[in-house]
Amino acid sequence: MERLVQKLQRIDGKSYTAYKDIAGDYFFPDFRLYIDHVQGDPFASPSRIRVRVAADRAGFPEELWNTRARQIGLEDYLARRIAGEIRKTTKGFRGTGKSGMIFIDSGGQEILQRTAVAVNREFVEARISVGLPAFGRKIAGKHALTMFTGELPKAVQNSLYYQKLPRDILHEYVFIKEDQEYIRKELLARKLVAFVANGSVLPRESGVSDLPLKGNVVPFQSPPELETEFILPNRGSVRGMGIPEGVTLIVGGGYHGKSTLLKALERGVYDHIPGDGRELTVTGETAVKIRAEDGRRVEKVDITPFINNLPHGRDTRTFSTEDASGSTSQAANIIEALEAGAGVLLLDEDTSATNFMIRDARMQELVAKDKEPITPFVDKVRQIYTELGVSTILVMGGSGDYFDVADLVIMMDEYRPADITERAREIAAAKPTERNPEGGRKFGTIKQRIPLQQSFQPQRGNKIRVDAKGLSTIVFGNTTIALAFQEQLVDASQTRAIADMILYMSKYRVDNRRTLNEIVDSVYQEIMEKGLEVLSPYFGKHPGDYAMPRKQEVLGAINRLRTLKIK
């Protein structure tokens, strides 16, 4: 530590580039500090440091990290804890550009596998970003001394030592993660696709906030017919609504909670922090939200189950377009989700193309089938389940034609669910739709596609330029990947991981022989063995800003790459 102090005193007031001298590692009284990367100027990407505490000094009992689920829960909590302590102990920006900034990637309402903190038998390590302080382009050495010898040690002391932490809160984080993973695994065994515990708080604070709604909230309560019980490893007995495999409709009047329930099921593919309200709302991990996405590019997708006989003889077996319509984009989104291994499709009529979802008897009579290339989803949703084993949960408030194909109908009435399946069947029998099923009796097979190496062009000029811009945009060379309609992406650190994963694949996996699925699966296998760190240009040092994305979102990003070429 004294070495670092002397260096900072020596370079105080010098040109910013003199900060390069402090790179290296230093022993502090309670931890070891690694300064892995020093930024080139006050406006550049922040410097990267690591703080490492020996495991025996940190003192975390092995029972808190002896399974993968518990380890992720512990690491997630510690990242949040040190982020909170940094906010308490630091003075924020001081000087020019990013001067004085101290930051750790700590997440939102979801518990995700992250690279921000690592816990193992040897040490507990936090990967932190700092903005080295300057006035103009002159080093502010005294401010740097305050950061490194005052603020940072205090934050570490209150974050990375077991004896300093509130044990009840820490244990709750660790064990709630394990309980949620237990439910997710049990869903398959019980032939369920989702579970919502009684007492869950599903509404959010607002349309732009993921925090739970406070005040006048109706806690979730399962209909008696759908209630099921899980005996969790830590929490014990919990009861709630189990949604079985098959085709499920969520119906009801406007503003009664249909989309709120579906949104909770979308996010149920992730585990949630204590107090979120959705801690025990759990969905199968391969569930994919489907929507219309006007304007997206589509590259050689077989959309014939839904669309064929296009004007001018356009081929829908290898359908490509630079500017998809609502119906063609939704068809492509479903086929790509099935190709990516989706086990459940989640749809909301509000974000779907109307002509893709339904064609009633009157329209069938007016526009002959040989003049209508679209086969509506209502005629394929049943086949998707019976032939492919893929369930669907669909919010539908405007068409009763889906009663004929549904296994379960849930009505939301003032945020309270009721099982009205029998009533829906009675109505369907009493008032037949008189429409003719379209599209044939078979759905067909899902083709696996092979990407060509020329698809991936990360260079911009003479440099590789791959970067995530917030949650919804990836810059890849001279093109951008728009992810705004990938609604199950929840964290910008996931987007960052996806960007570097695509670059990694393009370097080491794409060979004009392997399919998209094979490529992505092989990278996930390597991540399981070596950690998310393997993607980082700082591998072995500071890969501190990734969160684990799902395979479905990675493939979704590749499919939206406008330079993608399929063999």
With 0-12 / 13-18 / 19 or more C-beta atoms within 10 angstroms meaning exposed / middle / buried, residue 254 is exposed
334: left (phi over 0), alpha (psi -120 to 50) or beta: alpha
Cβ atoms 124, 117 nearer than 8 A:
yes
User: What is the pLDDT tens value at each position of the chain, 567 positions in all?
Assistant: 999 999 999 999 999 999 999 999 999 999 999 999 999 999 998 999 999 999 999 999 999 999 999 999 999 999 999 999 999 988 777 788 889 899 999 999 999 999 999 999 999 999 999 999 999 999 999 999 999 999 999 999 999 999 999 999 999 999 999 999 999 999 999 999 999 999 999 999 988 899 999 988 999 999 999 999 999 999 999 999 999 999 999 999 999 999 999 999 999 999 999 999 999 999 999 999 999 999 999 999 999 999 998 887 788 999 999 999 999 999 999 999 999 999 999 999 999 999 999 999 999 999 999 899 999 999 999 999 999 999 999 999 989 999 999 999 999 999 999 999 999 999 999 999 999 999 999 999 999 999 999 999 999 999 999 999 999 999 999 999 999 999 999 999 999 999 999 999 999 999 999 999 999 999 999 999 999 989 987 766 778 799 999 999 999 999 999 999 999
Question: Which two tokens mark 42?
Answer: 């006050």
Sign of the torsion formed by the C-alpha atoms of 425, 430, 433 and 434: positive
How far is it, in rounded angstroms, from Cα 544 to Cα 104? 8
With 0-12 / 13-18 / 19 or more C-beta atoms within 10 angstroms meaning exposed / middle / buried, residue 525 is exposed
Cβ atoms 557, 498 nearer than 8 A:
yes
How far is it, in rounded angstroms, from Cα 226 to Cα 246? 14
How far is it, in rounded angstroms, from Cα 217 to Cα 204? 10
Q: Enumerate domains of the chain plus CATH numbers.
A: 2-165 (no CATH), 176-244+272-283 (no CATH), 287-430 (3.40.50), 453-559 (no CATH)
